[in-house]
Structure 1
Amino acid sequence: MIVRILGEGQLDVPDSALDRLNELDAAVEAAVESSDEAAFATALTALLEGVREVGAAHPADALDESDMILPPADATIDEVRAMLGDDGLIPG
């Protein structure tokens, strides 16, 4: 799957990483729901680092649509709240 981190670009992430990324996403969602700024910052950092760890750079000249779009590292809790879907940031 292709994951875009806003402001950074796209990464090719293997489907096998989805379970772990969903765990990290759940922590972001819980922090947003409780309006816990400190937990939110930690959880968002962990999620983005997790995606960067398992992902490989998608070719910059490719015009492929992203399967998922994640907020930038400096996103606010309100910005992420607006991006959250029923399944969090990462569906599944």
Structure 2
Amino acid sequence: MIVRIMGEGQVKLDDAHFPELNKLDDELLREMDSNDEQGFRRTLHALLDEVRRLGTALPDDALEPSELILPAPDADLEEVRRMLTDDGLFPGG
């Protein structure tokens, strides 16, 4: 799956990593529900770091359609809330 991190670029991410990433996604949702800004910020950064670590960065000039768009590292709670689906940020969560 091609994943875009807003403001950064795209990575190719194997679907096999989704269960692992969904754990962080679930934690992020809990922190958002409780308006835990500090926890939200920490978990968002951890989630994006894992996507970068597990994925393969695509060249900046690649024009692949993104199947999933993740918030920028500096996104706030409201921005991320607008991006959520019923599953959270990752499908199957």
CA–CA separation in structure 1 for the residues paired with 2:90 and 2:53: 16
What is the CA deviation profile of residues 10-45 of structure 1, one whole-angstrom value per residue up to 9, with x for unaligned ones?
000111111101111111111111111011011101
Give the distance between the partners of 1:57 and 1:28, measured in 2 at CA: 23
Report percent identity of matched pairs.
51
Aligned amino acid, residue 24 of structure 2: L
Runs of 5+ unmatched residues, structure 1: none
Which aligned runs of 4 or more in structure 1 are off by greater than 3 angstroms? none
Taking structure 2 as the reference length, what is the TM-score of the superposition? 0.93
AA at the equivalent of 2:85 = G
Total equivalences in the alignment:
92
CA distance in 2, matches of 1:38, 1:24: 15
Q: Which amino acid aligns with 2:60?
A: A
| Aligned-CA RMSD value | 1.0
Deviation at 1:60, TM superposition (A): 2.7
Report the equivalent of 1:10.
10
- Report the 3-state secondary structure (helix = DSSP H, G, I; strand = E; otherwise coil) of the residue aligned with 2:18: helix
Rounded to whole Å, the distance in 2 between the matches of 1:66 and 1:30 is 26
Query: In the TM superposition, what is the alpha-carbon distance from 1:75 to its structure 2 partner?
Result: 0.4
1:11-50 equivalence runs, <5 A: 11-50=11-50
Q: Give me the TM-score of the superposition, normalised by structure 1.
A: 0.94
Residue 65 (structure 1) shift: 1.0
Question: Where does the alignment leave 5 or more consecutive residues of structure 2 unmatched?
Answer: none
